[in-house]
Structure 1
Amino acid sequence: MVLLNDDYTPMEFVVDVLEKFFGLDRPTATRIMLEVHTQGKGVCGVFTFEIAETKVAQVTTYARD
């Protein structure tokens, strides 16, 4: 899965999502967040389509709450 940078999502929220939904530790989540922030995108994992789809739904619901 690839995360894309935007002008709205706080960096700490991205780190939180990477820890909660992708099982990453804080240093790894922070590294990926900084890559997304500076490069415009970053890989947060490789998953089957079904798992990726579930993660998108979970993160979207979490972001809206």
Structure 2
Amino acid sequence: MYRVIFHNDDYTTRDFVVLALMRYFHKGHAEATTLMLQIHTKGMGVAGVFPHDIATTKKAQVEAEARKQQMPLRLTVEPDDDGQEDDA
């Protein structure tokens, strides 16, 4: 599984980050706002954990939308090392 990580920058608006979290990661408004504040204050935040193909697709979708809005938002996809594999 892979984490999709949002990285803070000085130009992407907070509103855009909240809307992206709601649209592409299906977060509610309150959860998206809380995560946006974490990204803003800590420099990054995990939007979700997905199989590799889904994680890379979500990254590409959000970054493409950011570019349309002329925002430099950067996301990364990293292996999830929490070791919480499903043993079922």
Q: TM-score, normalised by structure 1?
A: 0.92
Matched, 1:35 2:38: yes
The 1-side partners of 2:15 and 2:50 are apart by: 23
Q: From 2, 9, 12, give the equivalent of 1:9.
A: 12
**Is the counterpart of residue 62 in structure 1 residue 65 in structure 2?**
yes
Matches of 1:26 and 1:52, distance apart in 2: 21
Give percent identity, aligned residues only.
48
The structure carrying a bigger strand percent of its residues is: 2
Question: Quick one: distance in 2 between partners of 1:11 and 1:47?
Answer: 24
> Which structure shows the bigger proportion of residues in helix conformation?
1
Q: How many matched pairs?
A: 65
Unaligned segments of structure 1, at least 5 residues? none
State the Cα RMSD in Å: 0.9
Alpha-carbon distance in 2 for matches of 1:29, 1:46: 15
Structure 1 stretches of 4+ with a deviation exceeding 3 A read none
Q: CA deviation at 1:64?
A: 2.5
Q: Which has the higher contact order (CA 8 A, sep 6+)?
A: 2
